[in-house]
Structure 1
Amino acid sequence: MKKVLILNGHQYYDVVAKGELTQHYIDTANDFFLKNGFEVKHTHIEKGYDVEEECQKFEWADYVLFQYPVYWMGVPWITKKYFDETFTQGRHYTSDGRSRSDESKTYGTGGLLKGKKYMLSVTYNCPTSEFDNPKGFFDGLSLDQAHIATHKTFQFCGLEPLKTYSVHDIFKGDLDLKKELEKFEAVLTENFL
């Protein structure tokens, strides 16, 4: 049976970020995985966690689905704190990968979670037009390039990326959640089945 850890990286802010949208995605993913025979574990970072238990969850999981809202071009600060506390225990990497005796071993290759995969699923207020656009806010970067720090965090521990999902213009007022959740399920199907 395939095993997936669903990480909820949402952080509550009254009025602008109560967590309902993130929860819709978490619920949809949970239903998808259970329907398709996955064993599922959850971490809702904001509700608290035990560092040792989180280390064990990463070792247990074949896959990680990381659902989070983008705050100030990155993960919410409590989520960064979670990664700092969970990944600095020395359980998910042997070293930074380099070796004094073997120059072929390069930085970032010491991860112990090799063979595991992760998917980013992000909610954004900015429009999709800001990515892959030399005149856009992100200076021509793709969505994944704009999230390089998050990708590299997982890569350092040995995980491999799956296709990223994102929803945009969430405050514009015309979000078709049903349609977006269908797109999300299509990406889950592509990545996990």
Structure 2
Amino acid sequence: MKKVLILNGHQFYKNVAEGNLTNSFINKANEFFTKNGFEVKQTHIEKGYEKEEEIEKFEWADYILFQYPVYWMGLPWIAKKYIDETFTQGRHFASDGRSRDDASKLYGSGGLLTGKKYMLSLTYNCPESAFNNKNSLFDGMSLDQAHIAVHKTFQFCGLDALETYAVHDIFKGDLNLDAELEKFEKILTKNFL
């Protein structure tokens, strides 16, 4: 049986980011994985966690789905704190890969969670047109390039990336949640089945 860890990286802000959209995607993912025979574990970071238990979840999982809203071009600080605490405590998920005896072993090649995959699922206020556009805020970067720190963190630990999902323009007022959840499920199907 395939095993997936769903991480909810949402951080609550009254009237601005109360978590309803994030929860819609978490619920859809849980429904999808359960329907398709996955064993599922979840962590809602803001509700608290035990570091040792989280380490065990990462060791247990075949897949990680990391759902979070993008705040100020990155992770909510509690999600970054979670990564720092979980990945740095006790058993490490990576050495940096280098070797005094073998110069061909490069920095970042020592991940201990090899054979596992992860997917980022993001909620954004910015429009999709902000990416791959040299005249926009992200200077021509793709969605994944704009999240290089998260991708490199997982890569450093040995995980492989799956296709990223993002919903854009969430405050514009015309979000079709049903259509977005359908799009999300298609990417889940592509990535996990």
TM-score, with length taken from structure 2: 0.99
Per the alignment, residue 68 of structure 1 pairs with 68
How much does 1:95 deviate? 1.6
Structure 1: unaligned runs, 5 residues or longer: none
* 1:43 counterpart SS class: strand
Q: Deviations over 1:128-185 (max 9, x none)?
A: 0000001011000000000000001111110000000000000000000000000000
Per the alignment, residue 153 of structure 2 pairs with 153
How much does 1:89 deviate? 2.1
Residues in 2 aligned to 1:94 and 1:121: alpha-carbon distance in whole angstroms: 24
Please tell me the residue identity of whatever aligns with 1:81.
Answer: K
Paired residues of 1:92 and 1:113 also in contact (CA < 8 A)? no
Paired residues of 1:92 and 1:111 also in contact (CA < 8 A)? no
Asked whether 1:107 is paired with 2:107, we answer: yes
* 1:120 counterpart SS class: strand
Please tell me the residue identity of whatever aligns with 1:4.
Answer: V
- 1:18-97 to 2 correspondence within 5 Å? 18-89=18-89, 91-97=91-97
Residues in 2 aligned to 1:111 and 1:92: alpha-carbon distance in whole angstroms: 9
Please tell me the residue identity of whatever aligns with 1:82.
Answer: Y
Q: Percent identity?
A: 75
Residues in 1 aligned to 2:112 and 2:139: alpha-carbon distance in whole angstroms: 34
* 1:21 counterpart SS class: helix
Structure 2: unaligned runs, 5 residues or longer: none
- 1:7-26 to 2 correspondence within 5 Å? 7-26=7-26
Paired residues of 2:94 and 2:158 also in contact (CA < 8 A)? no
Q: Deviations over 1:19-63 (max 9, x none)?
A: 000000000000000000000000000000000000000000000
How much does 1:91 deviate? 2.5
Per the alignment, residue 166 of structure 2 pairs with 166
* 1:187 counterpart SS class: helix
TM-score, with length taken from structure 1: 0.99
How much does 1:100 deviate? 1.0
Residues in 1 aligned to 2:145 and 2:56: alpha-carbon distance in whole angstroms: 29
Please tell me the residue identity of whatever aligns with 2:20.
Answer: E
Report how many residues are paired. 193
How much does 1:3 deviate? 0.1
Asked whether 1:191 is paired with 2:159, we answer: no
Residues in 1 aligned to 2:107 and 2:33: alpha-carbon distance in whole angstroms: 34
Please tell me the residue identity of whatever aligns with 1:37.
Answer: G
Paired residues of 2:66 and 2:121 also in contact (CA < 8 A)? yes
